Amino acid sequence: MQELVEFIAKSLVEHPESIRVEQIQKEDETVYRLYVAPEDMGRIIGKQGKIAKAIRTVVKAAAVKSGERVYVDITDGLTDEY
């Protein structure tokens, strides 16, 4: 799943080398934190958040097969807090 998030994000941005995906395991869910260069945030989020919503939808659909509950959190590469 982490590779899927990374692949989608790298396909959309101008600085694919700055993409980083971190997997955070919680009790009954997995959060994939997507770090993006600040100048690429607009490309990942899209107008009215449509691209971000599409990324989340694809990842959740892929997780249904394995019965996982997953979330995608998008942040700029400058922020490290959760």
- CATH classification at residue 27: 3.30.300.20
Are the C-beta atoms of residues 32 and 70 closer than 8 Å to each other? Answer: yes
What total of structural domains would you count in the chain? 1
Task: Name the stretches of the chain with pLDDT < 70.
Answer: 79-82
pLDDT score recorded for residue 65? 86
Paired residues of 22 in beta bridges:
33
Are residues 9 and 17 in contact, defined by beta-carbon separation less than 8 angstroms? no
- What pTM did the predictor assign? 0.86
Q: Is residue 71 part of a domain?
A: yes
